[in-house]
Amino acid sequence: MPSLSFRRLRRSIGLVAVIPALLVLAACQAPPMDEQEAVGTHAQKAAEAAAAPTDETGKALEAPPVGTCDATQVQSLVGQAYTDKIGSQAQQDASAKQLRVLKPNDMTTMEFVGERLNIEVDEKGAISGLRCG
């Protein structure tokens, strides 16, 4: 008889040990998307849909916005250290009305501005790319 009560005791202890483990695993689930993230996601999808109207085949109905910027004129600057003087000269050479310097991890807007030259700079301050938009 004593062995039967020992088994029951062991089984009870086993169940008590499993319950906290299940609670810990349940807490590891990804948190639910909050209202602000949901609204942001919805707005992003709406903006993407409105940005490029297409026909039923997916072909664009409108040409992308055009501007005065021509980044092909300044591609020789890739690899050089960025300075304000180089940026001003690049803006002039590319016939851009605006200049934006993009550093690693910078937050940027996604709209296309055809009169803006974007100069991408790496973590060492060297120009890694130039593009209009």
Question: Whole-prediction pTM value?
Answer: 0.52
Distance CA 75, CA 85 (A): 16
pLDDT digits (tens, 9 = 90+) for 38-79: 767 777 777 666 665 666 666 666 665 578 899 999 999 999
The mean pLDDT value for 7-21 works out to: 65
CB 101 within 8 A of CB 87: yes
On whether the CB atoms of residues 130 and 71 are closer than 8 A, the answer is: yes
Cα–Cα distance between 20 and 28 in angstroms, integer? 13
The amino acid at residue 29 is Q
Neighbours of 49 (CB within 10 A): 10
Q: So what's the pLDDT on residue 5?
A: 66
Domains and CATH numbers, the chain: 2-51 (no CATH), 71-132 (3.30.10.10)
Encoding tokens for residue 10?
């062991």
Q: What is the pLDDT of residues 88-118, one digit of tens each?
A: 999 999 999 999 999 999 988 888 888 999 9
Q: Given a cut of 70, is residue 35 above it in pLDDT?
A: no
Which is more confidently placed, 121 or 30? 121
